[in-house]
Amino acid sequence: MRYVLMICLMASIGSCNNKAAKDNNSNAVTTPKCIKAMITKFEKEPKQNPPRKIYRYSFNESVVYYVPALCCDMFSDLYSNDCTLLGHPDGGITGKGDRTLPDFTTEKKEEQLVWQDKR
């Protein structure tokens, strides 16, 4: 580890940072292009309160993306890895979503915050 740090100090900082970022992310789950496009879209919209967020979960042996509702009586959205809308697991007037994914809350695993609007 010390050897790597010493090399980084002796080399240009930019190239070491790029190399480290690639190495650190080599085992990471890649965010699909459609989720990245969604993030770009959200960043162009007016700032929300609470801030917009996107989470990644393991659910029913698949990777899914959860977008919390903007407000009280609105639905949250759950997307597959290819951005197919799977349903609305919570929110709405009852708080129970559209009832197509009643087990999402209890069965989701491996929560990871993918993006949060920091404006």
- The residue type at 46: P
The band of 72, judged by pLDDT with boundaries at 50, 70 and 90, is: confident
- The residue type at 88: H
Percent helix, percent strand, percent coil in the chain, to nearest 5: 30, 25, 40
d(CA 96, CA 36) in angstroms, rounded, equals: 27
Measured on CA atoms in the order 21, 26, 32, 35, is the torsion positive or negative? negative
The band of 29, judged by pLDDT with boundaries at 50, 70 and 90, is: confident
Task: Indicate whether 67 pLDDT > 70.
Answer: yes
Task: Indicate whether 21 pLDDT > 70.
Answer: no
Instruction: Tally the C-alpha atoms within 13 A of residue 2's C-alpha that lie toward its C-beta.
Output: 0
